[in-house]
Amino acid sequence: MGGMNAALSAWAGLLGACGVGAAAIAAHAAGGERMGSVALILLAHAAAVLALAQRTGRLRAAAALAMAVGATVFAADVSLFTLRGAHLFPMAAPTGGVTLIVAWLLVFFSSVAELKRK
Domain boundaries defined on the chain: 2-117
Say if residues 42 and 16 touch (Cβ distance below 8 Å).
yes
Residue-wise pLDDT for 39-83, tens only, equals 999 999 999 999 999 988 899 999 999 999 999 999 999 999 999
| Continuous H helices in 1-118 | 2-28, 35-53, 58-84, 92-117
Query: What's the distance, Cα to Cα, between the start and end of the chain in Å?
Result: 23
* Burial degree of 104 (CB within 10 A; 0-12, 13-18, 19+): middle
pLDDT of residue 31: 81
The arithmetic mean of pLDDT across residues 80-103, rounded, is 97
Mean pLDDT across the chain: 95
User: Can you tell me the distance from the alpha carbon of 38 to that of 46, in angstroms, rounded to the nearest whole number?
Assistant: 12
| 48 Cβ neighbours under 8 A, 6+ residues apart | 64, 67, 107
Please state the pTM of the whole predicted model.
0.93
The arithmetic mean of pLDDT across residues 103-111, rounded, is 96
CB atoms within 10 A of CB 91: 12
